[in-house]
């Protein structure tokens, strides 16, 4: 008896044990009794179907309304029976009388219970289930969001007319069933007091409802234009909701419902508010008329409306408002109108909400001594009204996003003021001398402040939060004049100022500081002694400065969990790994060369970002240790997927989790999408869920690739991509959703004279902006309630918009992926915009909701325009957004463009078919082997893209990968006037002329261990290989990446391998007729396409240095085979003493081949080029 161990975790289990159980009639033979697990859980009896087992399938018997009886023929035996026409019975024999008595008492209590409430919402019901009628004692029934019909079919008897059987029902919810007609059966339920028939496409209400005794009647989201006069007989009706119908005026019958104290008529078609009607409704205290089309108030010399205490006129079209007629109003909402002037009575005013208007004048008379909250942000105010300083109970004042130049000193003397938000104004200074102020939160970001008041921090004893980011501060005021300090400041944001090292010592006057943001200032050092005194510091952001080190005394900050120090000059890895609470470390875009780690990583470490450190080398042990981190980012080996593309575009991206430590965003980046002349970027935001962004990141690129095969119309394939993605979300997209933005760069292969086209598509609040001539050019659009056409569409579909501006209280975006249960109000159709890229286009930014809520597009473009590196630019945007107040997850992608006048192909215009960007020459491989590798070189990616290394990658594989990257500069060709190749031919910048005796220089960098010689070859070699330029441990390789001349003969590949025995020369020749399939690997360069077009084979795990000498043949499907690799059986060894002679022979052989090529070029005119070179871009 008692709770078994396997089920002890369930709190609803009351009794359980292993007993003799049988099912069915008692007269069956005794041998039918079997030992089974029996559990009394909640209101059910659960019996195991497996003998002598506590696991497996369970039989559930509901006991409510059933019976628990004693069986006299068997000792200590009980019969458990369920209720209903299909009742079942289980017999249980207990081992002793104590257990028998315990089960009898407990089960009898359960069986005697009666069901009073049933929730069957969102169950896709087409008719009422039969077991719903087992209990006639229901008092509350929820059938919301189903597919119920008044008469579903003749064959079923469980229609809505059967609801009258519930004679004790008090509350019934039938909303969102699209009934079409009012269910008359509910009028026969005498006890019904609450009825919800919202969103049922009702066009009328029958007169018979006047006979009901309802107290609450919800009719929202229908097509009602009038109400029956019989409603006046419902004297107990206290709440009637008529929102989102089609009323053009207030129904007269409501004047007679004296028990009703709130008028709910938001989202209707009213354009005038007649105050005479409100005068005849003295019982109404709260008026909700938001989301109508009210342009004016019709007074007709109406006296004061003393009874109205709350008035909501949000989202209308008022140009001016004189609300003094509501002389007893306590709360006034008038946001998002077109108000220029506003007059209010201040006798009892407690809260005023007037943001997002065009206010230049605000008059409140008399002085509102009861006013506690006032939001007048996002208006055109140039001065703060004088009466504000005299409001004695004002606690929260928001005047942000105005044009205020000065704040009066008297404002800070208000003893009740706790929160002052004055950001995004034109403040040049704050009051000079401040006495005791009780302000706890002060936000003055985005102003023109040169300094803060000298005694601000001395007198503000209650100040806990200060944000002075985006000003012109050069110094901070002191917090104390002695060693003792009374500062309780906990959060300090000073990002994007001109602060220098002189202000750092002043931070020690705030010993309780928890969050410190000083990014993008002019700091060059952070003294260790000062850091040691900030013991309670939990988060620090000192990015974008010129720091060379983080002080070791950061170990004193035992509570530190976040260290962000990207875009500095840090050379030594800080001691942050010694902190037990550390969770996030961002040291990207610095000058780190090594990482020093303890034996065990901090237990809570979740993210480490080391991208953008070109000198960083990781050894095997370090890499194995770091692979255990959930999110570990380092530069992927150069040239991972950048063949040809970085000459036109390069990108960088970053992501940051919100305050709840959940990363609800994701980014997509493909520099080479579908082919070498396309790219795809995306940002996805799941708001509060992590599932949808991940699904979008993994799926949308594949869907877009498929849609591109069906149509080339930009708007069509983008719209189809989002619609198909909506279907693929499946069950995850039913109640979850996410915003998305995709940017696709393409070059039409059928239009060789065309340019690159950028197509952007977005839903939700993820957006894209293009920087053209230094000015922002928006490519996206947010579809929210403020859009007139979207609001009209939502009203047509009769969705409910709650007071926080969300559709059915779920999302404030009307076009978004997912949330299929809100269809057709919320749809996945994106906004699509295509634009032709020009040389004036510098870069474009993709950002999530958190980014654009904190930064305007103008500010974002201006912030990163002068940042040369795309990764650093994305990091800067993320840091600025967090310092400006963003607490949500953020994702930003910055794509830098280098579109020149010649960035379109004109080869066919000159009579020459353009070669494919994928054609690259064959290479001579110089392989360095049999050398110990002590360090792993991780060259910085030119695109700034980070590779998140998972624990699945072996250390040996990562330590052997060295990639090559294409140059970001436009290709330059060394033309020789005496050369016989293509006299008079003109080529575009994408496909320049490639001479047989010259090649374009492409620099490929790889970092090697110090065990290698200076030239990257074996130390026994006196001369470096031709085409390989060396500088210390960096090796640069000349690669021919463009070759447009057909060669009848393929040159012999001569791979040279430096070994202890000498040089290894391969004698096998590439079999041109056999196409080779390039195998791609998930990470690194082994088995994937490099920046110069070659493909590293899976079987090779050595450092590869490639020198291109010829182009591989085209293979079926438009891809190109990898260069042939030497067969070990065909290799022969050259002794060291013959190396010089062999090199001379190789040189002579190459010269002979060049002469043969020149002769062939004279014999074959341009018209006879091989057809396999006639390939699209």
For 1095-1150, what is the HEC assignment? EECCCCCCEEEEEEEECCCECCCCCECCCCCCCHHHEEEECHHHHHHHHHHHHHHH
Q: 373-375 and 419-421 as β-strands: parallel, antiparallel, unpaired?
A: unpaired
SS3 770: strand
Of 895, 913, 920, give the one whose Cα is nearest residue 1177: 913
Q: For a pLDDT cut of 70, what percent of the chain falls above it? A: 74
In the predicted model, what is the mean pLDDT of residues 201-216?
91
pLDDT recorded at residue 303: 80
- Where residue 1135 falls among pLDDT bands split at 50, 70, 90? low
For 890, phi then psi, to 5°, come to -130, 140
Q: Which two tokens stand for residue 871?
A: 């990764």
In the predicted model, what is the mean pLDDT of residues 599-609?
91
- Where residue 13 falls among pLDDT bands split at 50, 70, 90? confident
- What separation in angstroms does the CA of 814 have from each of 353, 532, 732, 738, 823? 24, 50, 18, 12, 10
- Where residue 463 falls among pLDDT bands split at 50, 70, 90? very high
DSSP 328-372: T--EEE--SS--SEEEEE-SS--EEE--SS--SEEEEES--TT--
Name the least confident of 189-193, 478-482, 493-497, 751-755.
751-755
Q: 89-93 and 341-345 as β-strands: parallel, antiparallel, unpaired?
A: unpaired
- What separation in angstroms does the CA of 500 have from each of 379, 474, 518, 541? 35, 7, 10, 15
User: Would you give the distance in Å from CA 191 to the centre of its chain?
Assistant: 49
Output the average pLDDT for the chain. Answer: 78
In the predicted model, what is the mean pLDDT of residues 475-490?
86
> Using CA atoms, how far apart are residues 377 and 202, in angstroms rounded to an integer?
40
Collect contacts of 113-117 with beta carbons under 8 A, ≥24 apart: 113/43, 113/64, 114/64, 114/65, 115/64, 115/65, 116/140, 117/141
Assessment of whether the complete model's pTM goes beyond 0.75: no
- What separation in angstroms does the CA of 733 have from each of 125, 408, 674, 684, 790? 20, 52, 28, 14, 21
Contact 23, 90 (CB under 8 A): yes
pLDDT tens-place string over residues 860-918: 999 999 999 999 999 999 999 999 999 999 999 999 998 887 655 444 444 444 443 33
Contact 185, 206 (CB under 8 A): no
Contact 963, 1038 (CB under 8 A): no
Of 513, 494, 500, 504, give the one whose Cα is nearest residue 444: 494
> Per-residue pLDDT for 712 more than 70?
yes
- Where residue 11 falls among pLDDT bands split at 50, 70, 90? low
Torsional sign, CA 1039, 1042, 1045, 1048: positive
CATH C-level class of 318-418: alpha beta
pLDDT recorded at residue 982: 39
**DSSP strand E in 912-1005: where?**
922-928, 936-937, 946-948
| DSSP assignment letter at 131 | G
Q: What are the extents of the domains in the chain?
A: 5-111, 318-418, 649-785+816-897, 906-941+952-1149
Q: Which residue has the tokens 């994007």?
A: 496
Beta bridge partners of 768: 846
Q: 239-241 and 262-264 as β-strands: parallel, antiparallel, unpaired?
A: parallel
> Using CA atoms, how far apart are residues 347 and 546, in angstroms rounded to an integer?
56
**pLDDT: which is higher, 238 or 1116:** 238
User: Would you give the distance in Å from CA 616 to the centre of its chain?
Assistant: 30
Of all helices (H) and strands (E), which one includes residue 703?
helix 691-710
**pLDDT: which is higher, 1142 or 696:** 696
What angle, 0 to 180 degrees and rounded to 10, lies between the N-to-C axes of helices 714-728 and 691-710? 140
**pLDDT: which is higher, 114 or 974:** 114
pLDDT recorded at residue 212: 87
pLDDT recorded at residue 157: 55
pLDDT recorded at residue 836: 93
Among 379-383, 408-412, 486-490, 958-962, the range with the most confident prediction by mean pLDDT is 379-383
Beta bridge partners of 140: 117, 171
User: Would you give the distance in Å from CA 717 to the centre of its chain?
Assistant: 23
> Using CA atoms, how far apart are residues 791 and 783, in angstroms rounded to an integer?
9
**CB burial class (10 A; 0-12, 13-18, 19+) of residue 329?**
buried
pLDDT recorded at residue 1027: 38
Q: At a CB cut-off of 8 Å and minimum separation 6, what does 508 contact? A: 530, 533, 534
- Where residue 759 falls among pLDDT bands split at 50, 70, 90? very high
> Using CA atoms, how far apart are residues 567 and 183, in angstroms rounded to an integer?
66
Q: At a CB cut-off of 8 Å and minimum separation 6, what does 301 contact? A: none
- Where residue 1160 falls among pLDDT bands split at 50, 70, 90? low
Q: Which two tokens stand for residue 98?
A: 């104590």
SS3 594: coil
pLDDT tens-place string over residues 401-418: 999 999 998 999 888 999
Helix intervals (H) in 800-924 = 849-854, 857-864, 870-883
> Using CA atoms, how far apart are residues 142 and 905, in angstroms rounded to an integer?
65
- What separation in angstroms does the CA of 830 have from each of 678, 771, 814, 876? 21, 22, 11, 28
- What separation in angstroms does the CA of 565 have from each of 5, 476, 588, 1099? 50, 21, 8, 39
pLDDT recorded at residue 974: 38
For 48, phi then psi, to 5°, come to -70, 140
pLDDT tens-place string over residues 548-593: 999 999 999 999 999 999 999 999 999 999 999 999 999 999 999 9
> Per-residue pLDDT for 754 more than 90?
no
> Using CA atoms, how far apart are residues 894 and 863, in angstroms rounded to an integer?
12
> Using CA atoms, how far apart are residues 895 and 842, in angstroms rounded to an integer?
9
In the predicted model, what is the mean pLDDT of residues 129-150?
84
Q: Which two tokens stand for residue 539?
A: 């988060």
Name the least confident of 387-396, 431-440, 597-606, 1026-1035.
1026-1035
- Where residue 82 falls among pLDDT bands split at 50, 70, 90? confident
Q: At a CB cut-off of 8 Å and minimum separation 6, what does 847 contact? A: 683, 766, 767, 768, 855, 860, 877, 890, 891, 892, 893
Q: Which two tokens stand for residue 982?
A: 């293509």
> Using CA atoms, how far apart are residues 452 and 477, in angstroms rounded to an integer?
6
**CB burial class (10 A; 0-12, 13-18, 19+) of residue 846?**
buried
In the predicted model, what is the mean pLDDT of residues 686-706?
93
- Where residue 812 falls among pLDDT bands split at 50, 70, 90? very high
- The CATH architecture to which 5-111 belongs is Roll (2.30)
pLDDT tens-place string over residues 841-864: 999 999 999 999 999 999 999 999
> Per-residue pLDDT for 259 more than 80?
yes
Q: Which two tokens stand for residue 846?
A: 């993709």
CA angle, residues 965, 970, 975, in degrees to nearest 5: 110
pLDDT tens-place string over residues 997-1054: 333 333 333 333 333 333 333 333 334 434 333 333 333 333 333 333 333 333 333 3
CA angle, residues 323, 325, 330, in degrees to nearest 5: 65
> Per-residue pLDDT for 194 more than 90?
yes
- Where residue 482 falls among pLDDT bands split at 50, 70, 90? confident
CA angle, residues 467, 469, 472, in degrees to nearest 5: 130
> Per-residue pLDDT for 1101 more than 60?
no
> Using CA atoms, how far apart are residues 1040 and 1001, in angstroms rounded to an integer?
7
pLDDT tens-place string over residues 268-292: 999 999 999 999 999 999 999 999 9
Q: Which two tokens stand for residue 234?
A: 């419902």
Q: For a pLDDT cut of 90, what percent of the chain falls above it? A: 50
pLDDT recorded at residue 59: 84
Q: At a CB cut-off of 8 Å and minimum separation 6, what does 143 contact? A: 120, 121, 125, 128, 172, 173, 174, 177
In the predicted model, what is the mean pLDDT of residues 821-849?
94
In the predicted model, what is the mean pLDDT of residues 516-522?
96
> Per-residue pLDDT for 646 more than 80?
no
Among 49-53, 662-666, 763-767, the range with the most confident prediction by mean pLDDT is 763-767
Q: 946-948 and 631-635 as β-strands: parallel, antiparallel, unpaired?
A: antiparallel
- Kindly state the greatest CA–CA separation across the chain: 117
pLDDT recorded at residue 636: 76
> Per-residue pLDDT for 936 more than 60?
no
CATH hierarchy code of domain 649-785+816-897: 3.60.40.10
| Strand arrangement, sheet containing 1131-1134 | 1103-1110, 922-928, 1056-1058, 1063-1066, 1131-1134
pLDDT recorded at residue 436: 77
Of 581, 583, 586, 515, give the one whose Cα is nearest residue 550: 586
**pLDDT: which is higher, 911 or 627:** 627
Write down how long the chain is: 1177
pLDDT recorded at residue 753: 65
Contact 890, 665 (CB under 8 A): yes
User: Would you give the distance in Å from CA 704 to the centre of its chain?
Assistant: 20
**pLDDT: which is higher, 637 or 682:** 682
> Using CA atoms, how far apart are residues 139 and 176, in angstroms rounded to an integer?
21
- What separation in angstroms does the CA of 134 have from each of 118, 125, 1034? 12, 18, 82
pLDDT tens-place string over residues 417-426: 999 999 999 9
């Amino acid at each position: 008896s008692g709770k078994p161990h396997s089920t002890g975790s369930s709190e609803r289990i009351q009794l359980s044990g292993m007993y003799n159980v049988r099912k069915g009639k008692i007269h069956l033979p005794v041998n039918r009794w079997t030992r089974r697990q029996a559990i009394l859980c909640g209101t059910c009896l659960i019996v195991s179907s497996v003998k002598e087992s506590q696991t497996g399938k369970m039989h559930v018997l509901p006991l409510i309304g059933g019976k628990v009886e004693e069986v006299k023929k068997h000792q200590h035996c009980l019969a458990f029976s369920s209720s209903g026409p299909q009742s079942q019975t289980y017999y249980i024999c207990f081992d002793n009388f104590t257990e028998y008595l315990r089960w009898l008492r407990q089960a009898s209590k359960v069986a005697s219970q009666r069901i009073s409430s049933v929730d069957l919402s969102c169950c896709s019901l087409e008719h009422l289930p039969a077991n719903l009628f087992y209990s006639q004692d229901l008092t509350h029934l929820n059938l919301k969001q189903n597919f119920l019909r008044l008469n579903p079919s003749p064959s079923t008897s469980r229609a809505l007319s059967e609801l009258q059987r519930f004679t004790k029902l008090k509350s019934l919810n039938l909303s969102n069933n699209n009934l079409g007609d009012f269910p008359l059966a509910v009028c026969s339920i005498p006890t019904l007091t609450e009825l919800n028939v919202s969103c049922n496409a009702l066009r009328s209400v029958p007169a018979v409802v006047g006979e009901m005794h309802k107290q609450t009647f919800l009719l929202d989201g229908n097509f009602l234009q009038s109400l029956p006069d019989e409603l006046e007989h419902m004297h107990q009706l206290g709440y009637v909701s008529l929102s989102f119908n089609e009323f053009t005026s207030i129904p007269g019958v409501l004047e007679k419902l004296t028990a009703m104290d709130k008028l709910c008529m938001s989202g209707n078609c009213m354009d005038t508010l007649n105050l005479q009607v409100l005068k005849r409704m003295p019982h109404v205290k709260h008026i909700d008329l938001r989301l109508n089309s009210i342009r004016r108030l019709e007074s007709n010399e109406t006296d004061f409306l003393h009874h109205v205490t709350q008035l909501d006129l949000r989202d209308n079209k008022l140009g001016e408002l004189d609300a003094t007629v509501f002389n007893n109003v306590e709360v006034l909402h008038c946001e998002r109108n077109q108000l220029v002037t506003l007059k209010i009575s201040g006798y009892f005013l407690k809260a005023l909400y007037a943001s997002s208007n065009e206010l230049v004048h605000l008059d409140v008379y008399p002085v509102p001594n009861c006013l506690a909250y006032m939001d007048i942000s996002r208006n055109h105010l140039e001065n703060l009204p004088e009466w504000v300083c005299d409001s004695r109970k004002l606690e929260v004042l928001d005047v942000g996003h105005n044009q205020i130049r000065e704040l009066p000193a008297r404002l800070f003397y208000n003893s009740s003021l706790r929160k002052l938000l004055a950001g995004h104004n034109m403040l040049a200074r704050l009051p000079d001398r401040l006495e005791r102020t009780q302000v706890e939160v002060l936000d003055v970001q985005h102003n023109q402040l040169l300094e803060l008041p000298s005694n601000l921090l001395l007198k503000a004893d209650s100040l806990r939060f200060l944000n002075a980011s985006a000003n012109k501060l050069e110094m901070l005021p002191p917090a104390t004049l002695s060693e003792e300090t009374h500062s309780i400041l906990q959060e300090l944001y000073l990002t994007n100022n001109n602060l220098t090292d002189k202000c750092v010592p002043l931070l020690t006057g705030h010993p309780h500081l928890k969050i410190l943001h000083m990014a993008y200032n002019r700091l060059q050092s952070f003294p260790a002694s000062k850091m040691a005194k900030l013991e309670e510091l939990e988060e620090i952001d000192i990015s974008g400065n010129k720091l060379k080190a983080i002080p070791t005394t950061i170990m004193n900050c035992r509570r530190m969990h976040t260290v962000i120090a990207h875009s500095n000059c840090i050379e030594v890895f800080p001691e942050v790994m010694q902190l037990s609470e550390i969770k996030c470390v961002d040291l990207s875009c610095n000058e780190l060369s090594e990482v020093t780690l303890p034996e065990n990583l901090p237990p809570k470490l979740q993210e480490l970002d080391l991208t953008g450190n070109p000198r960083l080398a990781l050894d095997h042990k370090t890499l194995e240790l770091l692979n255990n981190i959930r999110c570990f980012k380092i530069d992927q080996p150069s040239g991972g997927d950048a063949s040809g593309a970085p000459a036109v575009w390069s990108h960088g991206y970053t992501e940051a989790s919100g305050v709840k430590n959940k990363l609800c965003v994701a980014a997509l980046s493909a520099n080479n999408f579908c082919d070498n002349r396309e790219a795809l970027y995306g940002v996805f935001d799941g708001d509060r869920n992590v599932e949808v962004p991940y699904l979008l990141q993994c799926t949308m690129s594949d869907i877009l690739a498929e849609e591109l095969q069906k149509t080339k119309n930009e708007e069509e394939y983008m719209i189809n991509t989002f619609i198909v993605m909506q279907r693929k979300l499946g069950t995850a997209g039913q109640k979850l959703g996410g915003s998305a933005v995709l940017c696709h760069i393409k070059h039409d292969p059928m239009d060789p004279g065309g340019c690159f086209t950028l197509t952007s598509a977005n839903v939700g609040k993820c957006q894209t902006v293009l920087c053209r001539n230094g000015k922002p050019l928006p490519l996206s659009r947010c579809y929210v309630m403020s859009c007139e056409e979207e609001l009209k569409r939502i009203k047509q579909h009769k969705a409910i918009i709650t007071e926080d501006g969300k559709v059915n209280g779920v999302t404030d975006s009307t076009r978004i992926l997912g949330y299929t249960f809100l269809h057709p109000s919320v749809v996945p159709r994106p906004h699509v915009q295509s634009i032709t890229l020009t040389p004036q286009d510098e870069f474009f930014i993709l950002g999530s909701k958190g980014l654009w809520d904190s930064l305007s597009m103008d500010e974002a473009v201006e912030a990163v325009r002068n940042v040369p590196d795309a990764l650093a630019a994305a990091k800067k945007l993320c840091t600025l957004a967090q310092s400006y107040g963003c607490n949500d997850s953020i994702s930003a992608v910055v794509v830098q463009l280098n579109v020149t006048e010649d960035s379109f192909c004109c080869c066919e215009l000159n009579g020459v078919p353009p070669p494919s960007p994928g054609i690259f020459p064959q290479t001579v491989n110089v392989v360095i082997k049999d050398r110990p590798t002590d360090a792993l070189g991780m060259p910085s990616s030119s695109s700034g893209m980070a590779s998140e290394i998972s624990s699945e990658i072996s250390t040996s594989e990562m330590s052997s990968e060295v990639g090559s990257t294409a140059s970001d500069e436009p290709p330059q060709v060394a033309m020789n006037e005496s050369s016989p190749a293509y006299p008079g031919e003109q080529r575009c910048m994408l496909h320049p002329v490639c001479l047989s005796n010259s090649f374009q220089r492409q620099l490929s960098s790889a970092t090697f261990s110090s065990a290698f010689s200076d030239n990257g070859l074996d130390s026994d070699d006196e001369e470096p290989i031709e085409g390989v330029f060396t500088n210390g441990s960096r090796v640069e390789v000349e690669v021919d990446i463009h070759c447009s001349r057909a060669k009848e003969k393929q040159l012999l590949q001569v791979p040279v391998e430096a070994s202890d025995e000498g040089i290894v020369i391969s004698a096998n020749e590439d079999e041109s007729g056999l196409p080779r399939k390039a195998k791609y690997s998930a990470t690194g360069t082994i088995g994937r396409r490099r920046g110069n077009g070659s493909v590293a084979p899976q079987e090779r795990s050595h450092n590869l240095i490639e020198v291109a000498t010829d182009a591989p043949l085209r293979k079926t499907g438009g891809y190109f085979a990898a260069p042939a690799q030497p067969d070990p059986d065909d290799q022969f060894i050259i002794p060291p003493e013959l190396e010089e002679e062999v090199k001379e022979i190789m040189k002579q052989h190459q010269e002979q081949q060049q002469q043969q090529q020149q002769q062939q070029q004279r014999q074959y005119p341009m018209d006879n080029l091989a057809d396999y070179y006639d390939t699209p871009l």
